[in-house]
């Protein structure tokens, strides 16, 4: 009898250990034609200090095109790890002078403030030193329910009004949408894609902006990370260095660069041949650190896994601080583009993706997935 019980117990254990992990759960948050807008684009996703999910998008009211069109920034909130979502909240509305778009989100751990860094004004390719494309900071102090009036930080960074420009020749720039970064020391960073006076587009050049006072004042770091890039994202590595993932305007494979001196200089730009890139914005997320008690240092990357077309958005996993990406699984095999990642309060992974194309328009869809599903049960995320 004891042997029978032992066999049954072992069988139950094996069954539990080999049971299929929970499949991804999908929720469509914004559809073309809903909530008074013909179109939506440009996802950004963040988890607040209270564990609330904020899913942000461009509400592109009459046109799918970028600024200077009529664009509002809107969000939906979830307080149960993405199971249910509140009605849309407007972060900022367009006016007769400008729209607002391309949100990059970050939570300041020191204050709990949520920062939305966005663009406004004339549009990137109309920007000049005399009349620059603007960068704004909008702030929430109540878990994303209400938002401050936009604060124009352009004069701190570049243009004719900037008293001490780090790079004199910059004539237009914008912050890469999706995710900004807070360092271990509390500093806030976002990457800009910039053109210089006389440049033909593309390419765009990548620089980093930094704040050391919770996003109230900013400065542009003068070292150019890439002279042929586009939208880019940052992660702080376990050794304190910075890793930049860079959209490849030539298509093919994702580009990257690394700084070992807090952005004072950058390595030569390389390519990740295990991360295809059809010239699309993606996201880079620190999931875990061994120094904080995790079993592994883990980075996640979302990107369309195709060298030519925006389709097959995948989530990839690195265990060696971005040197290689041995794990990758498709979330949306169909046409899909920009995406944003966050870690949820329960340890699962949140992904916000624009799914669709220029003919059909884009839906903004949220996906909740687990580390166990991503790794076929080999890693439980601890």
Residue 176 has pLDDT above 90, yes or no: yes
Mean pLDDT of 288-294: 98
CA 62 centroid distance within chain: 25
What is the per-residue pLDDT for 20?
54
Tens-digit pLDDT profile for residues 118-141: 999 999 999 999 999 999 999 999
The pLDDT of residue 198 is 82
Q: Helix or strand or coil: residue 3?
A: helix
> According to the model, what pLDDT value does residue 203 have?
80
pLDDT at 199: 81
- Region 276-304: what's the mean pLDDT? 98
Which pLDDT belongs to residue 293?
A: 97
Per-residue model confidence (pLDDT) at position 370:
98
Structure tokens at 26: 């999908």
Using an 8 Å Cβ cutoff, are 138 and 119 in contact?
A: no
Do 351 and 26 touch, CB atoms closer than 8 A? no
Tokens representing 101 are 């778009």
The answer to whether the pTM exceeds 0.85 is: yes
pLDDT of res. 349: 98
Please say if the pLDDT value at position 202 is more than 90. Answer: no
- What would the mean pLDDT of 340-367 be, rounded to a whole number? 97
Position 327 pLDDT exceeds 50: yes
Q: Is the pLDDT of residue 3 over 60?
A: no
Q: What is the pLDDT of residues 31-53, one digit of tens each?
A: 999 999 999 999 999 999 999 99
pLDDT (average), residues 141-148: 98
With pLDDT > 90 as the criterion, what percentage of the chain qualifies? 92
> Who contacts 293 (Cβ-Cβ below 8 Å, separation ≥6)?
none
Max CA distance (Å), the chain: 87
Neighbouring residues of 220: CB distance < 8 A, sequence distance ≥ 6 = 157, 158, 165, 166, 167, 170, 192, 207, 208, 209
**Half-sphere exposure (CA, 13 Å, Cβ side) for 243?**
25
Q: How confident is the model over 150-154, as a mean pLDDT? A: 98
Mean pLDDT of 62-70: 97
CB atoms closer than 10 angstroms to residue 152: 13
- Give the mean pLDDT of 202-210: 92
Helix (H, G, I), strand (E, B) or coil at 61: coil
Burial class (CB in 10 A: 0-12, 13-18, 19+), 187: middle
Q: What is the mean pLDDT of the chain?
A: 94
Q: What is the mean pLDDT of residues 1-22?
A: 41
Residues 62 and 99: their CA atoms lie apart, in Å, by 12
pLDDT digit string, tens, across residues 90-114? 999 999 999 999 999 999 999 999 9
- Collect all residues with Cβ–Cβ distance below 8 Å to 24 and sequence separation of at least 6: 331, 367, 368, 369, 373
Nearest to 231 by CA among 199, 267, 190, 196: 190
The answer to whether the CB of 196 falls within 8 A of the CB of 169 is yes
Question: 363 pairs with which residues across the strands?
Answer: 355
pLDDT in tens, 15-27: 334 445 789 999 9
**Structural domains for the chain:** 25-374 (2.120.10.10)
Is residue 5 over pLDDT 70?
A: no
Averaged pLDDT for residues 225-239: 97
pLDDT at 98: 97
């Amino acid at each position: 009898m004891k042997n029978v019980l032992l066999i049954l117990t072992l069988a139950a254990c094996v069954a539990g250990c080999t049971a299929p992990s929970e499949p991804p759960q999908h929720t469509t948050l914004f559809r073309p034609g809903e909530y008074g807008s013909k179109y939506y684009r440009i996802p950004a996703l963040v988890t607040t200090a209270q564990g609330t999910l904020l899913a942000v998008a461009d509400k592109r009211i009459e046109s799918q095109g970028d600024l200077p069109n009529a664009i509002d920034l809107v969000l939906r909130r979830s307080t149960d790890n993405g199971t249910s979502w509140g009605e849309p909240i407007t972060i900022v509305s367009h006016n007769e002078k400008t729209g607002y778009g391309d949100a990059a989100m970050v939570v300041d751990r020191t204050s709990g403030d949520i920062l939305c860094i966005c663009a406004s004004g004339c549009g990137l390719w109309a920007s000049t030193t005399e009349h620059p494309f603007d960068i704004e900071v909008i702030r929430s102090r109540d878990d994303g329910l209400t938002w401050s009036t936009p604060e124009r930080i352009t004069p701190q960074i570049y243009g004719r009004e900037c008293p001490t420009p780090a790079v004199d020749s910059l004539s237009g720039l914008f912050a890469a949408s999706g995710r900004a970064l807070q360092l271990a020391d509390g500093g806030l960073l976002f990457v800009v894609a910039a053109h210089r006076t006389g440049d033909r587009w593309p390419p765009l050049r990548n620089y980093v902006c930094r704040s050391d006072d919770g996003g109230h004042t900013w400065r542009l770091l003068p070292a150019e990370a890439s002279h042929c890039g586009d939208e880019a994202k940052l992660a702080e590595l376990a050794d304190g260095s910075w890793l930049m993932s860079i959209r490849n305007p030539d298509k093919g494979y994702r580009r990257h660069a690394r700084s070992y001196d807090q952005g004072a200089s950058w390595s030569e730009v390389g390519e990740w041949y295990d991360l295809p890139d059809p010239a699309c914005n993606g996201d880079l997320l620190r999931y875990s650190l061994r120094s904080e008690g995790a079993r592994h240092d883990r980075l996640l990357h979302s990107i369309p896994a195709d060298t030519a077309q925006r389709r097959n958005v995948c989530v990839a996993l690195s265990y060696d601080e971005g040197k290689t990406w041995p794990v990758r699984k498709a979330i949306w095999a169909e046409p899909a583009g920009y995406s944003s990642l966050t870690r949820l309060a329960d340890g699962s992974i949140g992904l916000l993706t624009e799914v669709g194309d220029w003919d059909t328009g884009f839906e903004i869809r949220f996906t909740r997935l687990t580390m166990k599903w991503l790794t076929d049960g080999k890693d439980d995320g601890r």
